[in-house]
């Protein structure tokens, strides 16, 4: 069974459109994350939710809005897409955010291409 799943795997869209990426984890974890991996393969955290509450919000444009309907889901909605939004977006989850040895489990990624 897939631990952290994301849909879609690929997303090609035009500038100005609004799109969503869905993420689900079946590990029973309390904390979920969204990361952006740019063309240089650098992973940067965007958001983190713990038990449906936002706990990390890095300097991300407000066009990006995470939504956590329940502990197992963290969706990412992007308004007015721009060329610079093209990247691979990874969802991840962990048992908690503060345990010393907590490990983040990553989804397979969603490759977003904005044309």
Partner 1 sequence: KNQVEQSPQSLIILEGKNCTLQCNYTVSPFSNLRWYKQDTGRGPVSLTIMTFSENTKSNGRYTATLDADTKQSSLHITASQLSDSASYICVVREDTGFQKLVFGTGTRLLVSP
Q: Which residues bind partner 1 (CB under 8 A)?
A: 4, 40-45, 48, 55-56, 90, 92, 97-98, 100-101, 103-109
Q: Which is nearer to partner 1, 44 or 67 (CB)?
A: 44
DSSP 8-state symbol, 84: G
Strand partners, 78: 19, 64
Nearest approach, Cβ of residue 112 and partner 1 (Å) = 14
Q: Which is nearer to partner 1, 15 or 55 (CB)?
A: 55
**83 in Cβ contact with 112 (< 8 Å):** no
Q: Give CA angle at 108 (104, 110), nearest 5°.
A: 115
Strands 53-57 and 4-7: unpaired
Q: Which is nearer to partner 1, 64 or 109 (CB)?
A: 109
Nearest approach, Cβ of residue 79 and partner 1 (Å) = 25
Q: State how far the Cα of 96 lies from the Cα of 37, in Å rounded to an integer.
A: 23
Nearest approach, Cβ of residue 92 and partner 1 (Å) = 7
Q: Which is nearer to partner 1, 82 or 103 (CB)?
A: 103
Nearest approach, Cβ of residue 41 and partner 1 (Å) = 5
**48 in Cβ contact with 31 (< 8 Å):** yes
Strand partners, 75: 67
């Amino acid at each position: 069974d897939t631990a952290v799943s994301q849909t879609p795997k690929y997303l090609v869209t035009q500038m100005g459109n609004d799109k969503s990426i869905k993420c689900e984890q079946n590990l029973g974890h309390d904390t979920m994350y969204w990361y952006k991996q740019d063309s240089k393969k650098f992973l940067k955290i965007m958001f983190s939710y713990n038990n449906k509450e936002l706990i990390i919000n890095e300097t991300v444009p407000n066009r990006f809005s995470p939504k956590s309907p329940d502990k197992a889901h963290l969706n990412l909605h992007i308004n007015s897409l721009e060329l610079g939004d093209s990247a691979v977006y990874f969802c991840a989850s962990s048992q908690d955010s503060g345990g010393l040895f907590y490990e983040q489990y990553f989804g397979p990624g969603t490759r977003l291409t904005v044309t």
